[in-house]
């Protein structure tokens, strides 16, 4: 049975979906004002594996991940570049999709954009005001944090300690410094008409509303980076509990950070590597292997050396698989059969809160057995088993072995047996060129 670490309870729990055989999952997506960096890519890769695995164990999965296309950072960047916000967000939404696919992740089933839900956000905010949990001020609408009894439930923050840490700025007209903005009154940049004046919604409200609109009920899994736990996810929960009278999600999954030399990778620190730059030099699946080769809740300390190491590891996996595939094809021993015992081991590791690092050890073990296998039929079973696992992780290399290549390979073997070394060398070159030597 699948067991997951739930950030909400701080324990590993058996996973039970709300509806039998169905999983609803929401993951906070990018704010589209620039190209994604390696830190942004980590949840894109991990939650893709989560979806693949849930499907593998026969769940019907509805995976939603949003695009934040209205935000202060977008407005600033659009001004800087002297373009319209929509032009900027369209460009970077497209770049985000390109990079998601390049990293071998499937697109979410639904990818809502915040700007498509403005009317629903206004209605939602209006309801929070009517319920007494939000109030309008000249600067905007704020959520009354102090009125929610279990505020801090996810991030385990004590509400009283919280107020000590909040900075009070002079222009703040909030009742309480802890209250957060759900509508900002402003005409600076993209803005929309509302009963409280022209302005734009707060980020925490955007995700809460899109969840409400798309799922309309409590969901199974809500995910995101661990840095979103507070205040973003905490505030999503608070609004949902008040507006919908149910919890937002049963299980909260948070992916660890990706650091560079022990410092968080972030635009403001200027230590970022963009995905598009990394992919100029490395196989995307090698980076995928690096990402999932670390347990998802642990931080990754990214260095160029680490990337080089994983590129070599991935190359080794790829070469072993191709070698086995060639042997199987020459012997015409291809089978769809898998070693069910090994698949059960794989499932038990994945069921253990996605212990993918140990799955990778299992893959190396399978490759070792493949290298030793004498019987092509048995080799083929091992190959198919490994392929099944790699497909769930989204790192199965792509290659094609044509009949022509097989003929060349047989000719090379014959030339070697006949000791016709110059012909063998010539054929070897051709096979190398095709990537099969």
Beta strands in 134-232, from DSSP E residues, in sequence order: 134-137, 140-143, 180-185, 199-201, 219-225
Shortest distance, position 95 Cβ to Zn ion, whole Å:
20
What is the token pair recorded at 391? 């497909």
Shortest distance, position 411 Cβ to Zn ion, whole Å:
59
Residue whose structure tokens are 């206004």: 122
In the complex with Zn ion, which residue's Cβ is closer, 207 or 427?
207
Shortest distance, position 377 Cβ to Zn ion, whole Å:
50
Q: Which of residues 298-327 bind Zn ion (CB under 5 A)?
A: none
In the complex with Zn ion, which residue's Cβ is closer, 28 or 209?
28
Please tell me the distance from the alpha carbon of residue 401 to that of residue 424, in angstroms, as a whole number: 20
In the complex with Zn ion, which residue's Cβ is closer, 28 or 292?
28
Q: Which of residues 200-229 bind Zn ion (CB under 5 A)?
A: 207
Q: Which of residues 332-371 bind Zn ion (CB under 5 A)?
A: none
Q: Which of residues 384-423 bind Zn ion (CB under 5 A)?
A: none
In the complex with Zn ion, which residue's Cβ is closer, 231 or 357?
231
- Interface mask toward Zn ion for 151-190; x: CB under 5 A: ----------------------------------------
Please tell me the distance from the alpha carbon of residue 198 to that of residue 118, in angstroms, as a whole number: 12
Shortest distance, position 211 Cβ to Zn ion, whole Å:
8
Please tell me the distance from the alpha carbon of residue 226 to that of residue 301, in angstroms, as a whole number: 15
64 belongs to the binding site for Zn ion (CB under 5 A): no
Burial class of residue 90 (count of CB atoms within 10 Å of its CB; 0-12, 13-18, 19+): middle
Shortest distance, position 28 Cβ to Zn ion, whole Å:
3
In the complex with Zn ion, which residue's Cβ is closer, 205 or 291?
205
Q: Which of residues 28-57 bind Zn ion (CB under 5 A)?
A: 28
Which one-letter DSSP state was computed for residue 141?
A: E
Backbone angles phi, psi at 224, to 5 degrees: 165, -175
Question: Are the beta carbons of 154 and 230 closer than 8 angstroms?
Answer: yes
Shortest distance, position 29 Cβ to Zn ion, whole Å:
8
Backbone angles phi, psi at 85, to 5 degrees: -55, -40
Q: Look at residue 14 and give its three-state secondary structure.
A: strand
In the complex with Zn ion, which residue's Cβ is closer, 207 or 260?
207
Task: Candidates 27-35, 53-61, 251-259, 377-385: pick the segment binding Zn ion (CB under 5 A).
Answer: 27-35
Question: Are the beta carbons of 63 and 109 closer than 8 angstroms?
Answer: yes
Number of residues that bind Zn ion (CB under 5 A): 2
Question: Are the beta carbons of 396 and 387 closer than 8 angstroms?
Answer: yes
In the complex with Zn ion, which residue's Cβ is closer, 243 or 294?
243
Note if the bond before 231 is cis, omega within 30 degrees: yes
Shortest distance, position 210 Cβ to Zn ion, whole Å:
8
Please tell me the distance from the alpha carbon of residue 17 to that of residue 25, in angstroms, as a whole number: 11
**Backbone angle region of 145, left / alpha / beta, with phi > 0 → left and psi within -120 to 50 → alpha:** alpha
Shortest distance, position 209 Cβ to Zn ion, whole Å:
11
Backbone angles phi, psi at 427, to 5 degrees: -65, -35
In the complex with Zn ion, which residue's Cβ is closer, 114 or 366?
114
Shortest distance, position 47 Cβ to Zn ion, whole Å:
13
What is the token pair recorded at 256? 């660890």
In the complex with Zn ion, which residue's Cβ is closer, 34 or 223?
223
Task: Candidates 22-30, 108-116, 314-322, 426-434: pick the segment binding Zn ion (CB under 5 A).
Answer: 22-30
Contact residues for Zn ion, defined by CB under 5 A: 28, 207
């Amino acid at each position: 049975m699948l067991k997951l670490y739930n950030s909400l309870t701080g324990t590993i729990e058996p996973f039970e979906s709300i509806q039998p055989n169905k999983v609803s999952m929401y993951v906070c997506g990018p704010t589209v004002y620039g190209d994604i960096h390696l830190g942004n890519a980590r949840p894109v890769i991990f939650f893709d594996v989560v979806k693949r695995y849930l499907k593998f164990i026969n769940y019907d999965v509805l995976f939603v991940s949003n695009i934040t296309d209205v935000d202060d950072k977008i407005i600033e960047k659009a001004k800087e570049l002297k373009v319209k916000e929509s032009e900027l967000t369209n460009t970077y939404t497209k770049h985000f999709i390109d990079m998601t696919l390049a990293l071998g992740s499937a697109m979410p089933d639904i990818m809502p954009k915040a700007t498509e839900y403005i009317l629903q956000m206004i209605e939602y905010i209006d309801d929070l005001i009517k319920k007494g949990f939000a109030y309008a001020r000249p600067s905007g609408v704020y959520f009354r944090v102090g009125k929610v009894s279990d505020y801090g439930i996810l991030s385990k923050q004590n509400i009283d300690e919280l107020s000590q840490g909040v900075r009070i700025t002079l222009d703040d007209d909030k009742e309480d410094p802890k209250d957060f903005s759900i509508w900002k009154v402003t005409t600076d940049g993209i803005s929309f008409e509302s009963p409280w004046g022209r302005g734009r919604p707060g980020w925490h409200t955007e995700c809460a509303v899109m969840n409400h609109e798309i799922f309309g009920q409590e969901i199974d899994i809500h995910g995101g980076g661990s840095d979103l736990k507070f205040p973003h996810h905490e505030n999503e929960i608070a609004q949902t509990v008040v507006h919908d009278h149910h919890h937002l999600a049963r299980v909260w999954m948070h992916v660890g950070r990706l650091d560079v030399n022990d410092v968080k990778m972030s635009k403001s620190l200027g230590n970022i590597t963009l995905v598009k730059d990394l992919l100029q030099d490395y196989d995307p699946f090698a980076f995928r292997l690096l990402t999932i080769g670390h347990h998802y809740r642990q931080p990754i300390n990214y260095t160029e050396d680490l990337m080089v190491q994983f590129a070599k590891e991935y190359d080794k996996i790829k070469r072993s698989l191709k070698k086995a595939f060639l042997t199987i094809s020459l012997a015409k021993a291809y089978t769809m059969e898998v070693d069910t015992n090994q698949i059960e081991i794989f499932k038990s590791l994945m069921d253990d809160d996605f212990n993918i690092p140990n799955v990778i050890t299992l893959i190396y073990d399978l490759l070792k057995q493949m290298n030793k296998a004498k019987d092509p039929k048995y080799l083929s079973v091992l190959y198919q088993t490994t392929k099944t696992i790699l497909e769930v992780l989204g790192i199965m290399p792509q290659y094609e072995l044509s009949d022509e290549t097989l003929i060349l390979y047989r000719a090379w073997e014959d030339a070697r047996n006949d000791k016709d070394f110059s012909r063998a060398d010539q054929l070897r070159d051709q096979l190398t060129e095709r990537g099969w030597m």
